[in-house]
Amino acid sequence: MEPSELKRSKDSPNSDESTRRSSFPDEVLERVLSLLKSHRDRSSVSLVCKDWYNAERWSRTHVFIGNCYSVSPEIVARRFPKIRSVTLKGKPRFSDFNLVPENWGADIHAWLVVFAAKYPFLEELRLKRMAISDESLEFLAVSFPNFKALSLLSCDGFSTNGLAAIATHCKNLTELDIQENGIDDKGGSWLSCFPESFTSLEVLNFANLSSDINFDALERLVGRCKSMRVLKLNRSVSLEQLQRLLVNAPQLAELGTGSFSEELTFRQYVELESALSNCQNMHTLYGLWDAKGIYLPALYPVCTHLTFLNLSYAALRSDELAKLLAHCPRLKRLWVLDTVEDKGLEAVGLNCPLLEELRVFPADPFDEEIIHGVTEAGFVAVSFGCPRLQYVLYFCRQMTNAAVATIVQNCPDFTHFRLCIMNPGQPDYITNEPMDEAFGAVVKTCTKLQRLSVSGRLTDLTFEYIGRYAKNLETLSVAFAGSSDWGMQCVMGGCSKLRKLEIRDCPFGNAALLSGLEKYESMRSLWMSACNVTMNGCRLLAREMPRLNVEVMKEDGSDDSQADKVYVYRSIAGPRRDAPPSVLTL
């Protein structure tokens, strides 16, 4: 939903000239448009002319709403009468890191009430960073008889009782995907609520939950859902239980194991390996909690056709990773913990030439005593072996400008470059200079760059580079960086495609904020916290741009004139009415 995108076709007929255009029945137009899946293409199409706008809105079955407050459910329902699938995102991304107050909003219930009235045939709901209560889940479960797919990512406010309601009532459920949520885990009995007659489940992900589930119920469920292709277990499922499940589900394409660490007898190990080797369709492997190196060889038969391996819950050493990766030649995506160290990353470079995505997470992010983890050397090693890298998320404790320059020279195709040097404001550890040249190299070389997260000691020069070169940049995350307003002004002036900007702890003030006046309506949102923005600056912004919602979150005990946390977003629904008292809408 991007009402201000200006992509007009030059030859667009409009309805006043209907006598002149060639007759093109609406049904044909709708049929053609129904083949369009991308919501951005559909937005563009809807701007061509009134006829196309109408044809598009009647043929749209999936709506993507990147900010739940940018529009109201009534407006959505009025425009799109035939929606079967909804994707909604709520809170600002920094809520993942505790920067957003708990009762901030983004509650799904009002949406569900409208959907129940207008979209009784709703099939799919995918939510990210929304608040959803058990009552809402129960309401969902009983209001939509055709409901098929529920995906909750980084949501909160619900418990396993809500999941029980879904399992009990959704007779046609194909997907239940619960990821990284703040869920109140009251026990595993919800899984037993799937009726014995229920067979349609294709995707089941409950890795997020910690309680024991009734394994017999799970075994029967997996056994009778013959179309199941994605199964992600939680940590309470043992290796022996995993083997029993796999024997009945060799068709699985994605598997999240449970705990990978208990003591196995030799026979159990052999049976596990045999069960895994029967899974010829498996291309994705998750979980592997507490994986013990000695059992990893059981995975070798699956590794040959794996394209995505997520080891971010398994604290492997470099040698353990190296041995495993020797069997994974087709890997395209790899997530690991920094326990693998640089040596482990060297093995990545040596064994995975097709790698497109690498994420290295810190095993102990809050512990400063750690002297291991990964350094610039590991990243450089990967870049030499994996020229096709497009997406990287890298947490480290030291980095140099030279290393980053080498990395992007080896891998010029980066679309997502997220580098987190974990000590805020840390310079190049060899030259002691700011990391400006590193990110300068990134934006100069990687012309396709869409997403960038910067870190380390950075002056305004970094932002000059970004503004000048990062012409395709859509998402920028900045923390503890910059020297003055000029930095942010460069970004606002230069990055024409910018959609999301999130800034924390930077010396950007009102001049910086207001330099983006013209820009914010073409963006999804702006977040600024712990910067130098004042309430007056925010009020000015709100006054000048009535179609923006300017919200300030106040912290207790702070100076009245400071705007501690500012969240600015475009909206056609007007200021929201459900803001808690700590959030001021200007």
Partner 1 sequence: MSSENGKRLLETDAGGLNFEATELTLGLPGEPRVTSDGGAKLGSKRGFSETVDLKLGDNNREVKLGHSLQEAAKSPVSKTQVVGWPPVRGFAKRGKKSCKYVKVAVDGAPYLRKVDLEIYNSYQQLLTSLEDMFSCFTIRNYLNEKKIEQVNGIEYMPTYEDKDGDWMLVGDVPWQMFVESCKRLRLMKSSEAVGLGLTTGPKYSSTN
Q: By CB under 8 A, what part of segment 62-121 binds partner 1?
A: 94, 96-99
Residue whose C-alpha is closest to residue 270's, from 297, 249, 248, 245: 297
Angle at 502 between CA 552 and CA 71, to 5 degrees: 65
* Contact call for residue 562 and partner 1 (CB under 8 A): yes
CA distance linking residue 419 with residue 422, whole number of Å: 9
Q: By CB under 8 A, is residue 60 in contact with partner 1?
A: no
Task: Identify the residue among 366, 432, 546, 577 touching partner 1 (CB under 8 A).
Answer: 366
Q: What's the closest the beta carbon of residue 424 comes to partner 1, in angstroms? A: 4
Q: With respect to partner 1, which residue has the nearer C-beta, 70 or 510?
A: 510
Looking at beta carbons only, is 55 or 526 nearer to partner 1?
A: 526
Please report whether residue 312 would count as binding partner 1 according to CB under 8 A: yes
| Contact window for partner 1 (CB under 8 A) among 55-63, 72-80, 299-307, 362-370 | 362-370
Binding segment (CB under 8 A) for partner 1, from list 7-15, 69-77, 114-122, 287-295 = 287-295
Strand residues in 480-553 grouped as ranges (E):
500-504, 525-529, 548-553
193 lies in the binding site for partner 1 (CB under 8 A): no
Task: Check binding of 349 to partner 1 (CB under 8 A).
Answer: no
CB of 44 to partner 1, least distance (A): 33
Q: How far is the CB of 502 from partner 1 (least distance, A)?
A: 10
Q: Does position 29 bind partner 1 by CB under 8 A?
A: no
Residue 87: which of 115, 126, 38 has the closest Cα?
126
Does 314 bind partner 1 (CB under 8 A)? Our answer is yes
For residue 395, state whether it binds partner 1 (rule: CB under 8 A).
Answer: yes
Report the nearest approach of partner 1 to the CB of residue 215 (Å).
8
Residue 556 contacts by C-beta under 8 Å, 6 or more apart in sequence?
Answer: none
Contacts of 24 by beta carbon, 8 Å cutoff, 6+ apart: none
Answer yes or no: are the C-beta atoms of 216 and 243 closer than 8 Å: no
Assess 432 for contact with partner 1 (CB under 8 A). no
Residue 566: in which H helix or E strand, if any?
strand 565-570
The three-class DSSP label of residue 255 is: strand
| CA torsion angle 455 461 467 470 (round to 10) | -50
**Total interface residues for partner 1 by CB under 8 A:** 79
Q: Does residue 507 belong to the site contacting partner 1 (CB under 8 A)? A: yes
429 binds partner 1 (CB under 8 A): no
Residue range at the interface with partner 1 (CB under 8 A); choices 47-55, 72-80, 82-90, 208-216 = 208-216
- The region of 32-40, 125-133, 211-219, 403-411 touching partner 1 under the rule CB under 8 A is 211-219
Q: Is 544 in the site for partner 1 (CB under 8 A)?
A: no
Q: Does 11 bind partner 1 (CB under 8 A)?
A: no
Q: Which element (helix H / strand E) includes 321?
A: helix 318-325
Tokens of residue 138, six digits: 């129960």
Q: Maximum CA pair distance of the chain?
A: 80
For residues 329 and 302, is the Cβ–Cβ distance under 8 A? no
Query: Binding to partner 1 (CB under 8 A): which residues in 441-500?
Result: 457, 477, 479-485
Contact region for partner 1 (CB under 8 A) — 3-11, 109-117, 181-189, 279-287?
181-189
| CB contact set of 261 (below 8 Å; sequence gap of 6+) | 239, 289, 290, 291, 292, 295
Kind plus residue range of the DSSP H or E element containing 535: helix 535-544
Give the 3-state secondary structure of residue 517.
Answer: coil
Of 251-270, binders to partner 1 (CB under 8 A) are 259, 261-263, 265, 268
- Closest approach, Cβ 428 to partner 1, in A, equals 13
Q: According to the binding rule CB under 8 A, does residue 160 interact with partner 1?
A: no
- Of 300, 307, 314, nearest to 333 by C-alpha is 307
